[in-house]
A and B are shown apart, each in its own frame.
Chain A
Amino acid sequence: MQKYNSEKLKAISDNIRIDIIKSLSEAGSGHTGGSLGITDIFTVLYFNVLNHDPGNPEWEDRDRVILSIGHVAPVLYSTLAHAGYFPKEELKTLRKLGSRLQGHPGKEHGLSGIELSAGSLGQGLSVSVGLAISAKMDNKNHRVYSIHGDGELQEGAIWEAAMSAAHYRLDNLTAVIDRNCVQIDGKTSDVMELEPLADKWKSFGWNVIECNGHDHAELIKAFKDAKTFKDKPSVIIAKTIMGKGVKEIEDNYRWHGKAPNKEEAERFIKQILKK
């Protein structure tokens, strides 16, 4: 698929955000804050970084994206639709009975572009490790991208997986942390402190890259640095703001698991377009 520059990516991010808001408002429930906060990362991944082919989603040599935080499914769906995996029209069916767009990604419902049914936190990194070892065994060059929340890092299994990725020197694996410093109960520093986060990953044997998770150019560079780093898995700790793009809900953890009503949705979309 074509790779876009950071100018163009900004416009794509706006459009993905607008469709996230529309689909969540249609659904009446879902995770708005996290989905908007991680939108720039998804945009950069799918429109610049990944080797993938929306017309051939099962292409053997595609890069794999494992979304461990299934609750931000709206951003995955909106991004996949914009990339051409399925018609944008279908975004309206989010969370509805019979929809391929389940509340958390569910492959058995047949939506193309989903690599893993997921939603129970702390599991995705292990799956990514299995995919990455497998690619190495088969001398394949594709990469594995594992997407995680920061609150999710409180799950112990993440650190089991982190240990194993370093043990097997999985330099074909890039983990991305959506470091918005909030989770459902409030600030991560109040719920369960994660700092010093970069040091934790370093001590587990990872190459750590920190960047602004809303700056497309910085993200592109971070992914490039991760790709060229040898002998260690890389983690990109991307600083983000929950709800990014909609001023009135930015950094407000109350919007973690809430969907906008019709009026709010219209207002939010205006705010995205105004900026």
Chain B
Amino acid sequence: MKYINKGDKPTKTGFGEGLAKAGEKHSNLICLGTDITSSVGMNYFSEKFPERFFSLGIAEQNAIGVAAGFALAGKIPVFSTYGVFAAMRVTDQVRVSVCYNNLHVVIGGAHAGISVGPDGATHQALEDIAVMRVLPNMTVLSPCDATQTKVATIAAIEKVKGPVYVRFGREAVPDFTDPNQEFEIGKGQLLKDGNDISIISTGHLTWEALHAAYQLEKEGISARVINIHTIKPIDEHIIVKAARETHAVITAEEHQVNGGFGSAVAEVVVRNFPVPMDFIGMNDSFGESGEPEELMQKYGMTAASVIEKVKKILSL
């Protein structure tokens, strides 16, 4: 396989590094903490720029409103907490104070996915993509490794004009993308070409998708792998091209299948070039405690589950 893991690294570290880097250039960058500052990677910023970090206690509904106030005043506020809270405890505040006002607030959704592990269902954000992508004006980013999360975070600060949600996880995962990559909002990435099927993935599962594709290659199945780091606005062109050229699509996300990333891809496919599709992700259930790899296996979000689905869809 063409991609090399430079060493496992949590995507939240990429988020923190991105904040620290962007903080040097943007004196109006502000970070808001809600008692889990280090846990979401924001300590990289707060230690470097303590005068631009504001602790708001365990009070997320207030924090997101305060962020809206900062944005109205011309600052670039970053509010980050676990994805379950960032996307769902404060959904109405995000909808009205942030999105309806179209304010440039950067929302960091940490601990995304089931790979949060032992903490169990309450802390595993598996619905945040669906909730965030349905809000008008919102941009949704879901980078695939720590390096990409760093550039995605900087892009969220520098290139997005309105509200933006950046999704990342806690578990150390393979870090394989190019440190010099350009992060283009709304652009999908062709990671591996193929003609028989397209595996379109986001977040942690892109590494699994690549593994699956290279394994399938050995078995004579040519699978295309596309990484979508911007779920909204989604890259329709790369998706339609994939459907047109490979005639089958599988999506992969560490998130509920209902209404999530796969649904976003399906919306593009059915409007433009309907082909058989299947979805890797959580199937309408809560997670549970366990080691990350055990959970990924149990809930079918590994390279092996991708291979299984590919074979199933191709035998149709």
Contacts and interface: CB of A to CB of B under 8 A. Distances in A.
Given A130-B69, A161-B62, A123 B97 contact: yes
B61 A133 contact: no
B66 to A, nearest CB: 4
B73 A130 contact: yes
Contacts of A129: 62, 65-66, 69
B96 A130 contact: no
Given A116-B72, A129-B69, A160 B100 contact: no
A127 B96 contact: no
A120 B95 CA distance: 10
A106 B100 contact: yes
Contacts of A125: 65
B93 A130 contact: no
Contacts of B15: none
Interface in A99-119: 106-108, 115-119
Contacts of A127: 65-66, 68-69, 72, 97
Contacts of A133: 54, 66, 69-70
Interface in B83-109: 92-93, 95-97, 100-102
B224 to A, nearest CB: 40
A134 B100 contact: no
Interface string B150-167: 000000000000000000
Interface string A150-186: 0000001100110110011000000000000000000
B51 to A, nearest CB: 8
B197 interface: no
Contacts of B56: 164
B69 A126 contact: yes
Main secondary structure of the interface of B (DSSP, over half): helix
Contacts of B65: 123-127, 129-130, 157, 161
Contacts of A164: 56-57, 59, 62, 66
B77 interface: yes
Interface residues of A, number: 34
A160 B59 contact: yes
B226 interface: no
Interface residues of B, number: 28
Interface string A124-156: 111111111111011000000000000000001
B57 A130 contact: no
Given A106-B100, A118-B97, A123-B93, A131 B62 contact: no
B187 interface: no
B231 interface: no
Contacts of B244: none
A135 B72 CA distance: 11
Contacts of B61: 122-123, 126, 156-157, 160
Nearest to B67: A130
Contact of A126 (B66, B74, B100): B66
A168 B56 CA distance: 10
B68 A107 contact: no
B96 A120 contact: yes
B75 interface: yes
17 contacts: A117-B96, A118-B96, A120-B92, A120-B93, A122-B61, A123-B92, A123-B96, A123-B97, A126-B68, A126-B97, A127-B66, A127-B72, A129-B65, A131-B70, A133-B66, A134-B70, A157-B61
Interface of A: 64, 106-108, 115-120, 122-135, 137-138, 156-157, 160-161, 163-164, 167-168
Shortest Cβ-Cβ A-B pairs, 10 listed: A130-B69, A126-B65, A134-B73, A160-B62, A160-B59, A130-B66, A157-B61, A127-B69, A131-B69, A130-B70
Given A120-B96, A129-B69, 16 more contacts: A107-B101, A108-B102, A117-B101, A119-B96, A124-B65, A126-B66, A127-B68, A127-B97, A132-B69, A134-B74, A135-B73, A157-B61, A157-B62, A157-B65, A157-B93, A163-B57
